[in-house]
Amino acid sequence: MRWRSDGDRHLERELDFHGRLAAAGSASVEEHHSGCVSFSKKKERARYVDADYVGFEIEDEFVVGYGLDFKEQYRNLPYVGVLRKELIAQER
């Protein structure tokens, strides 16, 4: 089973929201909501996502800090950093 981050779940909720607006006959999803992401990973995605605003494009690494967490840790770091792969592997 692939561990899923809050970011993955948030993205799915956003895509679902846009899909429901379009199905309801909205003239333009853009009228209701713009896509904005702090980080866009350089990786293949299951679904195409075109964000209107991207803060930073980053490699496919797990980032923590400044509100981003791993297992409810590291969220309060005053910066964004890359989580060491050994820490992720220990949790599997």
pLDDT of residue 6: 53
pLDDT of residue 21: 58
Cα separation, 26 vs 56, in Å, equals 30
Predicted confidence pLDDT, tens digits, the chain (92 residues)? 344 455 556 566 666 666 665 666 555 545 545 678 888 888 888 888 778 888 889 999 999 998 999 999 999 999 999 999 998 888 76
Q: Look at residues 39, 53, 45, 49 and name the one whose alpha carbon lies nearest to residue 81.
A: 39
